[in-house]
Structure 1
Amino acid sequence: MIAITNLSYYLGDRALYDGASLHIKPKMKIGLIGLNGTGKSTLLRMIDGEYQPDEGRISKSGDCTIGFLNQDLLSYQSDESILAVAMQAFERQNQLQVQIDNILHEMEHNYRDELVDKLAKVQDEFDALDGYTIQSKAEAILEGLGFVTDDLHRPLRLFSGGWRMRVMLAKLLLQKPSLLMLDEPTNHLDLPSIQWVEKYVQSYEGAVIVVSHDRAFLDNTVDTIVEVSGGKLNLYSGNYSYYLEEKALRNDIQRGAFENQQAKIKQTERFIERFKAKATKSKQVQSRVKALDKMEVVDAVVDENAKVHFRFQFTTQPGRHVFQLEDASKAYGDKVILDHTSITMERGDKIALIGANGRGKSTALRVVAGTEPIEGKRRLGHNVMFTFYAQHQLESLNINHNLLEELKYANSTKTETELRTVLGCFLFSGDDVFKKIKVLSGGEKSRVALAKVLLSQANFLLLDEPTNHLDMQSVNILIQALQQYEGSYIVVSHDRYFVESIANKIWYIEDHQIKEYPGTYVEYERWIEERGLQSAVSEKATVSSAPPQVKSNQATNNNGNAQKNINKATSAEDVQKLKKAKKQVEELEATINNLESKKSETEAKLAQPEVYNDSAKLAELNRFYADVKKKLDQATESWETAMMEVEELG
């Protein structure tokens, strides 16, 4: 369908692409990944024809149509209704509708047989193109993307950039191009809309290229990963999780090959140095010199997974209760956000506040921060010191400061070396620390603001969509920092991988109440699915009663782990079942520990250089590794089943 051959593209003297090639086939679902600045969006613009390559070519089949969702569409405005804008996708049907309307209008004054024949012909074509269903199709997609029925006839210009982007996405989906290119489609979507788009992309009949930093979205939508690295397009079959495994394996092989080659180079250089002055060895010396010149050098493995080597600490320990709401209500005119709700947060709680846009998550966060007036009581606990991060607060950065000065302003007790360490954690190194804030990109400003938050010595953090504008490496750094953080926090985010990695409790707003699930996001999703209440995830249905584990008016144990709260069984039979299930859990945990040890030992062996010189040994280890991994997955699945049984019997 599309062939990219020996593509090169330069930004000044820097080669963004250098001899890159890729073949895009019909129905492929591609996740395009890479660090910020490697040229992902540039590649999409070249495929779309907006940019021209400096070398190489991009060939497209004659019937290939392209739909491109990019961030430039945020600025598009129109006085037409959002329904009318979305229906612009049906260009031919709209032309026919105009013709039908004109003919009918003319027939009111001049009824002729030729007009009847013309109307019949136009209506037949309109019907063949499903013209009578285009409005219902447009309405269905717009509502799937989060619009309510009353919104559909409002002018596009009245909506914010994020909502306008949803309208443009709806228009593209209705066009059904043979190649759909989506550049960061989840940036302006809430969780229910993200899940809706996932299902749509999964069933999309054409090819799709997605640029996204949302790992869960990539795992659920793509079957191929294309990594932009070193000016090349490296293809991996499978979703993002498979890519991580395959990339690690390729890196191990490359690392072994590199170490073997370096050892051979050093041995050869020692031979040349030792015998270059001896006439009797001149032929051998020259032979080895030529061999070194012809050698295809194996590159060293570049570790792109930055690690945080800094502990973000605070000096003042808070009391047991960090925050409490009691009988709190909040409304904007007739729009009720909270209605006599109560909730308690304890020291050590790591909370993710999730749900659809418009339910009041950001409002609830401002209520916690005390910047939003309410009816009822709001209490901060003893010695609680909090700081608030939100996207609009990027504007509060001093644009005339450099990075070091801005962090020094946040925490004057840190030395320059400590501040450089923090900036290094957030991917600013060397002379980057002397850059002025005003020259930074949106993503770079987000990283600086997050570094300031974590340096503030607050023991309670409020973070509103902190992963927006961050690439995967930056998100991974933020995850590590929050996992190391010893205080408490509330995070609003639609990034499911991020939420699962950093939260031990889930808060959600339902029936104008803040409710709590005392477990991880995966456990929360499983609870929803088990009870047939998937609509609760999208927050479009009302649940008549809270789950047995959920409580909104009292605190849970500090660790937030529901699975450890085992109560007494209510009968002798249940007691026996519970004991049996707990014993099975213990046995499975021992098995899992054993298998994980074998897995780690095998990985260490696979990384040894001598293994790569013995193909039989390498094959044997790979088979053993695959067998251990399979058994580990099975044991883990059995452990999860057993733990669910313990929880049900407890």
Structure 2
Amino acid sequence: MISITNLSYYLGSRALYENASLHIKPNQKIGLIGLNGTGKSTLLRIINGEYQADGGTISKAGDVTLGFLNQDLLSYQTDDSILSVAMQAFARQNELQRQIDELLHEMETNYRDELVDKLGKVQEEFDALDGYTVQARAEEILEGLGFSTDDLQRPLRTFSGGWRMRVMLAKLLLQKPSLLMLDEPTNHLDLPSIQWVEKYIQTYEGAVIVVSHDREFLDNVIDVTVEVAGAKLNYYPGNYSFYLEEKALRNEIQKGAYENQQAKIRQTERFIERFKAKATKAKQAQSRVKQLARMELVDAVIDETARVNFKFQFSTQPGRHILHLDDITKAYGPKRILTRADIRLERGDKVALIGANGRGKSTLLRIISGSEPVNEGKRQLGHNVSFSFYAQHQLESLSVEDTLLDELKHANPTKSEGELRGVLGCFLFSNDEVFKKIKVLSGGEKSRVALAKVLLSQANFLLLDEPTNHLDMQSVNILIQALEQYEGTYVVVSHDRYFVSQIANKIWYIEDEQIKEYPGTYDEYEWWMEERKEQEGNSKSVDRKPAPAPQPATTTPRASDDERKEWQRTLKKLTQQAEESETKISQLEERKKRLEAELADPATYGDSKLMQAKNDEYHRVKAEISQLQDEWENAMLEAEEWEKKLA
């Protein structure tokens, strides 16, 4: 269908592609993968004819049509309804419908046989092109991508960039090109929409090339993986999981070939060095020099899955309770997000907040951070909780004139340059790249810098809103490793199923205007949801039995006024104990900080007796803080029980 032969493309002196080849067959589903900056999007633009190759050929069959979904489409705006925009895919049917309307209008006042004949021919072609079903098909795809029926007549201009991208995807799917090219389509889709697109691509009759960092999406839709690496297009006949296994095998073979070649090169160089000055051996030595020059070098294997180590430091350890949202109600005009919702977060919870767009996930994160006011209810942060918030819009708050090192110094001034370089190295910035200015970075690179800042912030509670957007797979893997090593608490909003399955021990979702919790991993949650849907389906298919007659309610005898007064006194005493413990903890934390400063003072560690005394006091203060924190937690837990009895 499409044949790419010996493709070469250069950015200045750097080769993105050099003698690269690929053959795209009808109905193939290809995943195009590689590190950021290797040229994946560039290849799609070359195929689409937007960029001109520096060498090689791209041959296409005469009847091939192309459809390209890219991030540039985000900027498209119009006052036309989204249904009208999607219907632009049917150019011929729209023209025929216009002719039919004009002919019918003309026949109202001028009924002639020739007009009837013309109308019949136009309607025949319109019917042959399934013109009577195109609107229903457009509505079906738009609703599959998450739009409600009421949304279909709203102007495109009134939607955010991510929703506009969905409209353009719908238009593209309706055109049904021979080759569908999708550049990071999941960036702007929620989980139900991603799953809908997966099913659509699986049954799509044409060929598909998709660039994506979503491993599970790739595994579910592709049958061929093409890796962009070393300016070449490396072909793997299987999905992403197959690629990982096959790549490991190829790396082992390449590593062996590289080591053997290096040993041969060292042996040849020793021979040349030893005999080049001897007249009897000069000819052989010169022959070996030419042999080395002709040798086609095997590249060293680059480990793209290397483990990284993060040293997280908290300025303070939090108490057991991190957060309590109590009877939270949030609405935007008539649209209710939450109604008297309640949720608790405990120290060590690793929460993934998932679900469809529009349910209020980002709103909930902002409520947790305190940046979003609520209509009713209380937000209570626990003792010593300090949080850091990452969201896409915060990329704009990076100081564009700062270097990467400067930006990280603002996040944590206590770190040395070497430590900051180490963190930047973990996020794939090495050598002189740390002196780049923020303004020259790509969107993905800015995301990595912003994430590094969050992880350096010494916060013991993280809020992360779609952190994997614009990250390549290696960067996602690094973020997973960082969160695995993080000993604090976090809430993450993400639609990347593989990422969520690796980092969460609890799942939150918003349903019926309430925050629901599943106490397990994402894989367990998916299994539970499937079981739940199956049970709901079975219950609907079975004839409903008459509801049993209501039984008299058993009620607990109401406590006497004297008992309730005693409970209130107990609750008040426990609350005072907790407040006193919290005050003492704060005072001791201040004393601990002063002792840490004194222990670092040369005047202290120059005097051994003073050093010993300060060190003993420091450990005594730490032990007292730990004991008071336990007392505070016990008092708060007991107080909660008395509150329930009084409710």
TM-score above 0.5: yes
Tell me the distance in 2 between the aligned counterparts of 1:182 and 1:533.
33
Tell me the distance in 2 between the aligned counterparts of 1:506 and 1:80.
39
Q: Secondary structure at the match of 1:327?
A: strand
State the partner residue of 2:266. 266
Per-residue deviation, 1:403: 1.4
Tell me the distance in 2 between the aligned counterparts of 1:369 and 1:129.
54
Go from structure 1 to structure 2 and tell me whether the alpha carbon gap of 1:431 and 1:272 turns closer, same or farther (over 3 Å shift).
closer
Tell me the distance in 1 between the aligned counterparts of 2:209 and 2:427.
28
State the partner residue of 1:470. 471
Q: Secondary structure at the match of 1:532?
A: helix
Per-residue deviation, 1:160: 1.2
CA RMSD of aligned residues (A): 1.5
Tell me the distance in 1 between the aligned counterparts of 2:536 and 2:331.
24
Go from structure 1 to structure 2 and tell me whether the alpha carbon gap of 1:181 and 1:131 turns closer, same or farther (over 3 Å shift).
same
Residues 534-579 of structure 1 show CA distances to partners (whole Å, capped at 9, x for unaligned) of: 999xxxxxxxxxxxxxxxxxxxxxxxxxxxxxxxxxxxxxxxxxxx
Q: Where do 1:10-409 residues align within 5 Å?
A: 10-282=10-282, 284-374=284-374, 375-409=376-410
Q: Does structure 2 conserve the Cα–Cα contact (< 8 Å) formed by 1:312 and 1:481? A: no
Question: Which consecutive unaligned segments of at least 5 residues does structure 2 have?
Answer: 538-647
Per-residue deviation, 1:23: 0.5
Give the letter for the 1:70 counterpart.
N
Per-residue deviation, 1:443: 1.5
Per-residue deviation, 1:468: 1.2
Tell me the distance in 1 between the aligned counterparts of 2:213 and 2:94.
37
Tell me the distance in 1 between the aligned counterparts of 2:424 and 2:96.
59
Give the letter for the 1:20 counterpart.
A
Give the letter for the 1:437 counterpart.
I
Tell me the distance in 2 between the aligned counterparts of 1:254 and 1:457.
42
Tell me the distance in 1 between the aligned counterparts of 2:534 and 2:513.
18
Q: Does structure 2 conserve the Cα–Cα contact (< 8 Å) formed by 1:306 and 1:425? A: no
Per-residue deviation, 1:446: 1.2
State the partner residue of 2:576. none
Per-residue deviation, 1:277: 3.9
In our comparison, the structure showing a higher alpha carbon Rg is 2
State the partner residue of 1:3. 3
Give the letter for the 1:430 counterpart.
N
Q: Secondary structure at the match of 1:164?
A: helix
State the partner residue of 1:645. none
Per-residue deviation, 1:292: 2.7
Per-residue deviation, 1:286: 4.5
Give the letter for the 1:322 counterpart.
I
Per-residue deviation, 1:279: 4.5
Tell me the distance in 2 between the aligned counterparts of 1:405 and 1:295.
45
Name which of structure 1's ranges 38-47 and 135-144 shifts more when overlaid on structure 2. Answer: 38-47
State the partner residue of 1:490. 491
Residues 360-393 of structure 1 show CA distances to partners (whole Å, capped at 9, x for unaligned) of: 0011111111122221122111111111111111
Per-residue deviation, 1:105: 0.4
Residues 273-312 of structure 1 show CA distances to partners (whole Å, capped at 9, x for unaligned) of: 3333444445544544443333222111122335323322
State the partner residue of 1:447. 448
Name which of structure 1's ranges 353-362 and 447-456 shifts more when overlaid on structure 2. Answer: 447-456
Tell me the distance in 1 between the aligned counterparts of 2:152 and 2:211.
28
Q: Does structure 2 conserve the Cα–Cα contact (< 8 Å) formed by 1:461 and 1:489? A: yes
Give the letter for the 1:24 counterpart.
I
- Percent of aligned pairs with the same residue? 79
Name which of structure 1's ranges 307-316 and 233-242 shifts more when overlaid on structure 2. Answer: 307-316
Give the letter for the 2:11 counterpart.
L
Per-residue deviation, 1:476: 1.2
Tell me the distance in 2 between the aligned counterparts of 1:287 and 1:48.
49
Q: Does structure 1 conserve the Cα–Cα contact (< 8 Å) formed by 2:461 and 2:490? A: yes
Tell me the distance in 1 between the aligned counterparts of 2:296 and 2:365.
57
Q: Does structure 2 conserve the Cα–Cα contact (< 8 Å) formed by 1:306 and 1:473? A: no
Q: Secondary structure at the match of 2:415?
A: coil
1:424 aligns with 2:425: yes
Go from structure 1 to structure 2 and tell me whether the alpha carbon gap of 1:430 and 1:287 turns closer, same or farther (over 3 Å shift).
closer
Tell me the distance in 1 between the aligned counterparts of 2:504 and 2:335.
29
Q: Secondary structure at the match of 2:219?
A: helix
Tell me the distance in 2 between the aligned counterparts of 1:223 and 1:511.
39
Tell me the distance in 2 between the aligned counterparts of 1:274 and 1:432.
41
Tell me the distance in 1 between the aligned counterparts of 2:470 and 2:290.
49
TM-score computed with the length of structure 1 as normaliser: 0.81
Q: Does structure 1 conserve the Cα–Cα contact (< 8 Å) formed by 2:359 and 2:510? A: yes
Residues 170-189 of structure 1 show CA distances to partners (whole Å, capped at 9, x for unaligned) of: 00000000000001111111
State the partner residue of 1:582. none
Per-residue deviation, 1:532: 2.7
Per-residue deviation, 1:359: 0.3
Tell me the distance in 2 between the aligned counterparts of 1:332 and 1:532.
30
State the partner residue of 1:516. 517
Per-residue deviation, 1:11: 1.2
Give the letter for the 1:428 counterpart.
F
Q: Secondary structure at the match of 2:318?
A: coil
Q: Does structure 2 conserve the Cα–Cα contact (< 8 Å) formed by 1:307 and 1:425? A: no
Tell me the distance in 1 between the aligned counterparts of 2:352 and 2:457.
21
State the partner residue of 1:543. none
Q: Does structure 2 conserve the Cα–Cα contact (< 8 Å) formed by 1:93 and 1:129? A: yes
Q: Does structure 1 conserve the Cα–Cα contact (< 8 Å) formed by 2:327 and 2:378? A: yes
Question: Which consecutive unaligned segments of at least 5 residues does structure 1 have?
Answer: 537-650
Give the letter for the 2:380 counterpart.
R
Name which of structure 1's ranges 290-299 and 191-200 shifts more when overlaid on structure 2. Answer: 290-299
Q: Secondary structure at the match of 1:500?
A: helix
Residues 485-515 of structure 1 show CA distances to partners (whole Å, capped at 9, x for unaligned) of: 1100000011111111111110000111111
Q: Does structure 2 conserve the Cα–Cα contact (< 8 Å) formed by 1:505 and 1:519? A: yes
Per-residue deviation, 1:343: 1.1
Per-residue deviation, 1:100: 0.5
Q: Does structure 1 conserve the Cα–Cα contact (< 8 Å) formed by 2:309 and 2:482? A: no
Give the letter for the 2:506 counterpart.
K
Tell me the distance in 1 between the aligned counterparts of 2:49 and 2:268.
50
Go from structure 1 to structure 2 and tell me whether the alpha carbon gap of 1:437 and 1:285 turns closer, same or farther (over 3 Å shift).
closer
Give the letter for the 2:413 counterpart.
S
Give the letter for the 1:252 counterpart.
E
Q: Does structure 1 conserve the Cα–Cα contact (< 8 Å) formed by 2:5 and 2:21? A: yes
Tell me the distance in 1 between the aligned counterparts of 2:119 and 2:232.
55
Tell me the distance in 1 between the aligned counterparts of 2:60 and 2:439.
41
Q: Secondary structure at the match of 1:531?
A: helix
State the partner residue of 2:622. none
TM-score computed with the length of structure 2 as normaliser: 0.81
State the partner residue of 1:640. none
Per-residue deviation, 1:196: 0.5
Residues 213-243 of structure 1 show CA distances to partners (whole Å, capped at 9, x for unaligned) of: 1111111111111111111111111111111
Provide the aligned length of Structure 1 versus Structure 2: 536
State the partner residue of 2:596. none
State the partner residue of 1:567. none
Q: Secondary structure at the match of 1:298?
A: coil
Q: Secondary structure at the match of 1:109?
A: coil
